[in-house]
């Protein structure tokens, strides 16, 4: 396989967007060691990161496969790999199946609970791609698929579950749902034309932005709750303040009449928010 082919697959799954959920998986990983008597092992870390990569590759490749006909008709998405013909639908589906199998294998190598829960995780992350065909709550399913990361990483280390990682999962659920609504804003007219469901298509651009802001407000409140459960210190407070500030910032730089800065709001701002918050939480737990 040539470097160009590998680059096409990286582009297919938007590998750079792994930065959204990865910091929260790391939070769950470190939190498990902080709250239990588990002994750190590089093998466990490697398997957790592998699960993250394989799960996301599965989700994104299936999404591109399932949406290939819609993507070809949408000017914004027609440049994606399958519509352009640089990756065939069969290749994308095969890539999806291989990554799903590797995800289950990595989960099995972690512990029995991870193995048992792996089909549930796959059902959520793959099922998201089909929900836009029948419900405008599809953004919540995207958020749910992302929210698996911190709790799953905690289970991978401890073999058990507790309230705090679930709280971080709730933060990711609301945060991811909120920014996915913003990401769907440019497709409002296209979704209506094609009979697809989304919050912008159902409620209009202005109200969709209000709903997104509401979800992010609740996410910020849960950041405070999580900090309280951890008896937050300066590192957590700093990371949380930056995270919440960047959530606010993305809503200030886009307007219903002007989406020119949407890419900055969606990718750059949210990616930075997740990383800064993750670093703050992990430093709090470790130091």
In whole angstroms, what is the distance from residue 152 CA to residue 113 CA? 10
Q: Which residues contact 40 (CB under 8 A, 6 or more apart)?
A: 33
* DSSP label at residue 40: P
Is there a domain that residue 80 lies in? yes
Is 240 within 8 Å of 280 (Cβ atoms)?
A: yes
For position 4, what pLDDT does the model report?
65
Is there a domain that residue 96 lies in? yes
In whole angstroms, what is the distance from residue 137 CA to residue 118 CA? 23
Q: Which residues contact 282 (CB under 8 A, 6 or more apart)?
A: 26, 27, 30
Mean pLDDT by groups of 10 residues along the chain of 287 residues: 72 77 95 93 96 94 96 93 94 96 98 96 96 96 96 95 94 97 96 96 97 98 95 96 96 93 87 95 95
Taking residue 278's Cβ as centre, other Cβ atoms within 10 Å add up to 23
Is there a domain that residue 234 lies in? yes
In whole angstroms, what is the distance from residue 100 CA to residue 26 CA? 21
* DSSP label at residue 187: G
In whole angstroms, what is the distance from residue 203 CA to residue 127 CA? 23
For position 6, what pLDDT does the model report?
79
Domains identified in the chain, total number: 1
Is 229 within 8 Å of 222 (Cβ atoms)?
A: no
Is 51 within 8 Å of 152 (Cβ atoms)?
A: yes
Range of the domain at 177: 19-286
Alpha helices, DSSP H, located in the chain: 3-12, 22-35, 42-66, 68-73, 81-84, 89-110, 112-131, 138-158, 163-183, 188-194, 199-203, 205-229, 234-252, 262-263, 270-286
Is there a domain that residue 108 lies in? yes
In whole angstroms, what is the distance from residue 204 CA to residue 142 CA? 20
Is there a domain that residue 12 lies in? no
Is there a domain that residue 248 lies in? yes
Is there a domain that residue 164 lies in? yes
Write the CATH number for 164.
Answer: 1.10.357.140
CA 70 vs. chain centroid, Å, equals: 22
pTM for the predicted model, two decimal places: 0.94
Is 125 within 8 Å of 189 (Cβ atoms)?
A: no
| Joined tokens for residue 68 | 């290939």
Is 122 within 8 Å of 58 (Cβ atoms)?
A: yes
Q: Which residues contact 59 (CB under 8 A, 6 or more apart)?
A: 125, 126, 128, 129, 145
Is there a domain that residue 86 lies in? yes
């Amino acid at each position: 396989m040539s470097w160009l082919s590998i680059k096409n697959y990286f582009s297919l799954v938007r590998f750079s967007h792994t930065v959204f959920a990865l910091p929260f998986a790391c939070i769950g990983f470190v939190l498990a060691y902080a709250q239990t008597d588990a002994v750190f092992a590089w093998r466990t870390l490697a398997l957790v990161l592998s699960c993250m990569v394989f799960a996301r590759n599965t989700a994104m490749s299936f999404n591109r496969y399932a949406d290939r006909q819609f993507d070809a008709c949408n000017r914004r998405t027609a440049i994606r790999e399958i519509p352009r013909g640089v990756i065939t639908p069969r290749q994308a589906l095969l890539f999806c199946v291989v990554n799903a199998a590797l995800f289950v294998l990595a989960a099995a190598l972690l512990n029995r609970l991870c193995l048992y829960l792996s089909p549930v995780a796959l059902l959520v992350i793959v099922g998201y791609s089909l929900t836009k065909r029948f419900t405008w709550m599809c953004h919540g399913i995207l958020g749910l698929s992302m929210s698996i990361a911190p709790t799953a990483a905690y289970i991978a280390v401890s073999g058990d579950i507790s309230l705090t990682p679930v709280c971080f999962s709730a933060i990711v659920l609301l945060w991811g749902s909120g920014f996915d609504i913003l990401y769907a804003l440019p497709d409002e007219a296209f979704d209506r034309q094609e009979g697809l469901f989304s919050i912008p298509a159902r409620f209009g651009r202005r109200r969709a932005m209000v709903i997104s802001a509401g979800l992010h407000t609740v996410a910020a409140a849960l950041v405070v709750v999580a900090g309280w459960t951890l008896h937050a210190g300066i590192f957590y407070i700093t990371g949380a303040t930056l995270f919440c500030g960047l959530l606010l910032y993305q809503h200030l730089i886009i307007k219903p009449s002007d989406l020119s800065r949407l890419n900055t709001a969606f990718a750059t701002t949210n990616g930075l928010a997740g990383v800064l918050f993750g670093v703050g939480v992990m430093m709090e737990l470790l130091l």
